[in-house]
Amino acid sequence: MTSTALRSRAWKLLEMVTTPLLPSDYLDLVSPLRAGGDLRGRIEAVHPETGDAATIVIRPGRGWRGHTAGQYVRIGVDVDGVRLWRAYSVTSPTDRRDGRITITVKAIPDGKVSNHLVRKAQPGTLIQLDQATGDFVLPEARPAKVLYLTAGSGITPVMGMLRDTEFDDVVMVHSAPRPHDVIFRDELHALVADKKLRLTELHTDTDGMLDIARLGELVPDWAERETWACGPAGLLDAAEDHWAEHGVPERLHTERFRPAVVVTGDGGEVTFAATGKTVDADGATPLLDVGEEAGVLMPSGCRMGICFGCVTPLKAGAVRDLRTGAITEAGPNVLIQTCVSAAAGPCDIER
Amino acid sequence: MTAIDPTAHLTAEQIEELGRELDAIRDEVIAGRGEKDAAYIRKVISAQRKLELVSRGVLLFSFFPPAWIIGTAGLSVAKIMDNMEIGHNILHGQWDWMRDPKIHSTTWEWDHVSPADQWKHSHNELHHTYTNVIGKDNDLGYGIMRVDEDQKWHPFHLAQPLWNFINACFFEYGIAAYDLELGKNLHKRRRKNPEFRARARAVGRKIRRQVLKDYVIHPLLSGPSFLTTLAATFTANLVRNLWSHSVIMCGHFPEGVQVFERRSIKGETRGQWYLRQMMGSANISGSKVMHFMTGNLSHQIEHHLFPDLPSNRYAEVAVKVRALFEKYELEYVTGPLPKQVFSAWHKVFRLSLPNRKPKATTPDREQELVAA
């Protein structure tokens, strides 16, 4: 018998000892970060960055497989007793010696998780963790010239890149309302002083928003640069148009944090087939919220349509994508993202 | 179906007002649910697991009598906690709002021979919807007992104190049989129903796993303590069964609790539904430990009004609910455990004999309301 087979036999036997619970239910009591358990992390420190942003140092469980600079991680945090999942960019370099990772969170108005993490999170708290993911990453082949175009908390994935990989020629254009709102400002200025970065800092409260058409004035050779852009949808939309107009769309890599929610649709009666629950939903509420309100255990993730942690089979009916207005109809193997889909008429979801 | 309807003095408007006041109590608790509540259930679950681990550990040395006593007592308490404060309440969805898949009504499984999903159907759906409606709520006597004067007496009922005692000793098996609707399904034709057979197989699997664990694997692990560990787990299961049977008998059986006719729930409003839960349930008074060990089913009235509110909130809710009972001049049936257990058993004995003289049927509540 191979050692794997032997181990699985032993585990089966252990399951008989602990039934109806699982051995892991008991192991979690003593070693929640062990290898082989559900992936979790422990918050070890919270460092304020600006008035409304903080960096959270997390010790990931033994099952953590590392990340690539620019990727994000989904974390599940208990806020007022309710487990909420969000996605945040990893801001630590990939070779951090102590194996810890950091995320940097900006508290957004009414943001349950972001405000909790920035203002209330305590060292020692356990959080749920997923493996890092996302393709907003640097390529294997090093580009000669790099441009980072960021705004607000859009700087976080780029900071992960800056800290991870040095390039010969890096320019960053970063927008924030005021100087003290610039996350990582001291570190950026230190990089500038070391001649590792050329930085244009725009303060939108006084300078106004960045006009992409005039990017050439700030970075004359922008079209030759491999560009990574992250920030509000308006900035990214404008950038995509601009790069496309100049025939270099392949040089632009973007990361969108929130969907532009279109309020539209008819709504309808939503049936959660597995639990047998039926509720009325309007055309503007994501099905994820509808299900959670009805007490259905819905898988969820970033809640903004990027992580696919919430995909669920659509068995019948149609849903509308709240970002684009596109209608998806049920069919074999049709999966929908419940966090950005609303009922477009009656529908039936496998939950 | 006592001769006098204790709710006859209420008008339809009053009953709806009562419903609104109860809704307000519920909304207040839901709005206030939070971190403390989540911490409470996590703490209880963790304590239960540790107690069970330690008790089973102690039982490895149960050939030594003090170890047997400590281990058996610990395991009995752990099993009671698992079934009452943890299992029953989680399976009611009381903690689903935490969105923790490990503490959710759809994923939880308990130390009990009835699989969680079958129990949820017969208990959450049938019993809690049709509370105390004769012919609809089989929890009333679990289909094997006569629970009201108006039910026809049969010589079979003479033995019901004995059935009830046997049921108490093997309560978890009684519940599993009840969830399977064994009485109804054992007829030849129904036995072959594939849906019933699948459910019966699920129960069989659960029983096998439970029995293997308690009566084979843990005794074997104890080596020289094989027999004493076997005796200890049997005792713990017996204690847990007797205890949960007693607590549950107190919920709907004691004198003063009303039962209802099928006709009376036709077209029932929310207010009337609430009123039926109030009149059909009874509480147990006592200390905090007492409430905890009953899984807060000592607050049966509150639990039946709000089956999905977290159990740790029933005590505070009870104060407000009791005030409503007084306001609407209704009887809040409660008493210490021995008194309530005695009252319930007394009823079982009393109704095992034919009535001395048949009592008049209760006037139908619906008709009364129309008259009012």
For residue range B313-339, list pLDDT tens digits in order. 999 999 999 999 999 999 999 999 999
What are the sequence ranges of the domains in chain A? 1-29, 38-133, 146-255, 268-349
Name the closest residue on chain B to residue A29, using Cα atoms.
B46
What is the rounded distance in angstroms from the CA atom of residue B261 to the CA atom of residue A283? 43
Give the pLDDT of residue B3: 54
Give the pLDDT of residue A263: 42
- pLDDT higher than threshold 90 for residue A323: no
Q: Which chain A residues are Cβ-neighbours of B111 within 8 angstroms?
A: 20
B205: contact with A, CB 8 A cutoff: no
Q: Which residues contact A77 (CB under 8 A, 6 or more apart)?
A: A83, A84, A85, A86, A113, A116, A117, A121, A127, A128
- pLDDT higher than threshold 90 for residue A7: no
- Interface list for B 112-151 with A (CB within 8 A): 112
Neighbours of B327 (CB within 10 A): 12
> Residue B360: inside a domain, yes or no?
no
Spell out the long-range contacts of B118-125 with Cβ–Cβ below 8 A and sequence spacing 24 or more. B118/B176, B118/B179, B118/B180, B118/B199, B118/B202, B118/B203, B119/B91, B119/B175, B119/B179, B120/B91, B121/B179, B122/B178, B122/B179, B122/B181, B123/B91, B123/B179, B124/B91, B124/B92, B124/B93, B124/B307
Instruction: Look at the domain A38-133 and name its fold.
Output: Elongation Factor Tu (Ef-tu); domain 3 (2.40.30)
Give the pLDDT of residue A130: 93
B93: contact with A, CB 8 A cutoff: yes
Q: Which of B49, B112, B217 comes nearest A16 by C-beta?
A: B217
Q: Please answer yes or no on whether B39 and A83 come within 8 Å at the CB atom.
A: no
Number of inter-chain CB pairs under 8 A, A vs B: 65
Label residue A114 exposed, middle or buried (CB < 10 Å: 0-12, 13-18, 19+).
buried
> Residue B180: inside a domain, yes or no?
yes
Give me the domain span that covers residue B341.
12-352
Q: Which of A16, A20, A297 comes nearest B104 by C-beta?
A: A297
Share of chain A above pLDDT 70, in %: 97
Name the closest residue on chain B to residue A24, using Cα atoms.
B102
What is the rounded distance in angstroms from the CA atom of residue B242 to the CA atom of residue A22? 27
pTM of the entire predicted model: 0.89
Binning pLDDT at 50, 70 and 90, where does residue A150 land?
A: very high
The Cα of A126 is separated from the nearest Cα of chain B by a number of Å equal to 13
Neighbours of B92 (CB within 10 A): 21
* Residue A182 Cα to chain centre, angstroms: 20
The Cα of B229 is separated from the nearest Cα of chain A by a number of Å equal to 14
Q: Which chain A residues are Cβ-neighbours of B309 within 8 angstroms?
A: none
Q: Which chain A residues are Cβ-neighbours of B206 within 8 angstroms?
A: 20
Q: Which one of B99, B102, B208 would you mutate to disrupt binding with A, by most A Cβ within 10 Å of its Cβ?
A: B99
Q: Please answer yes or no on whether B39 and A81 come within 8 Å at the CB atom.
A: yes
Chain A residues within 8 angstroms (CB to CB) of chain B: 16-17, 19-21, 25-26, 29, 78, 80-84, 275, 292, 295, 297
Q: Which of B34, B35, B53 comes nearest A26 by C-beta?
A: B53
DSSP character at residue B225: G
Q: Which CATH class is domain A268-349?
A: alpha beta
Alpha helices in A175-246 (DSSP H): 185-193, 204-207, 215-218, 233-245
pLDDT in tens, A47-73: 999 999 999 999 999 999 999 999 999
Q: Which chain B residues are Cβ-neighbours of A83 within 8 angstroms?
A: 98-100
Average pLDDT of the residues in A186-191: 97
Q: Which chain A residues are Cβ-neighbours of B119 within 8 angstroms?
A: none
Q: Please answer yes or no on whether B34 and A292 come within 8 Å at the CB atom.
A: no
- The interface predicted TM-score (ipTM) is 0.89
Give the pLDDT of residue B367: 44
Give me the DSSP letters along A140-160. Answer: SSPPSEEEEEEEGGGHHHHHH
pLDDT in tens, B286-310: 999 999 999 999 999 999 999 999 9
Average pLDDT of the residues in A126-133: 95
Greater confidence (B138 vs A272) lies with A272
B27: contact with A, CB 8 A cutoff: no
Residue ranges of chain B whose pLDDT lies below 70? 1-3, 142, 356-372
What is the rounded distance in angstroms from the CA atom of residue B3 to the CA atom of residue A335? 59
Task: State how far the alpha carbon of A336 is from the alpha carbons of A270, A284, A310, A314, A315, in Å.
Answer: 14, 16, 8, 6, 10
Name the closest residue on chain A to residue B213, using Cα atoms.
A17
Q: Are strands A252-256 and A226-231 parallel, antiparallel or unpaired?
A: parallel
Q: Which of A25, A80, A295 comes nearest B93 by C-beta?
A: A295
- pLDDT higher than threshold 50 for residue A262: no
- pLDDT higher than threshold 80 for residue A176: yes
The Cα of A280 is separated from the nearest Cα of chain B by a number of Å equal to 19
Q: Which chain B residues are Cβ-neighbours of A19 within 8 angstroms?
A: 209-210, 212-213
B245: contact with A, CB 8 A cutoff: no
> Residue B106: inside a domain, yes or no?
yes
Amino acid at A260: A
Q: Are strands A226-231 and A198-203 parallel, antiparallel or unpaired?
A: unpaired
Give the pLDDT of residue A258: 60
Q: Which chain A residues are Cβ-neighbours of B46 within 8 angstroms?
A: 29
Binning pLDDT at 50, 70 and 90, where does residue A278 land?
A: very high
Q: Please answer yes or no on whether B107 and A26 come within 8 Å at the CB atom.
A: no
> Residue B358: inside a domain, yes or no?
no
Q: Which chain B residues are Cβ-neighbours of A16 within 8 angstroms?
A: 209, 212-213, 217
Average pLDDT of the residues in A153-161: 96
B31: contact with A, CB 8 A cutoff: no
Q: Which residues contact B209 (CB under 8 A, 6 or more apart)?
A: A16, A19, A20
Q: Which chain A residues are Cβ-neighbours of B209 within 8 angstroms?
A: 16, 19-20
Pick the CATH number of A146-255 from 3.30.230.10, 3.40.50.12780, 2.40.30.10, 3.40.50.80: 3.40.50.80
The Cα of B265 is separated from the nearest Cα of chain A by a number of Å equal to 23
Tally of domains within chain B = 1
> Given phi > 0 = left and psi -120 to 50 = alpha, else beta, which region is A294?
alpha
Q: Are strands A40-50 and A126-129 parallel, antiparallel or unpaired?
A: antiparallel
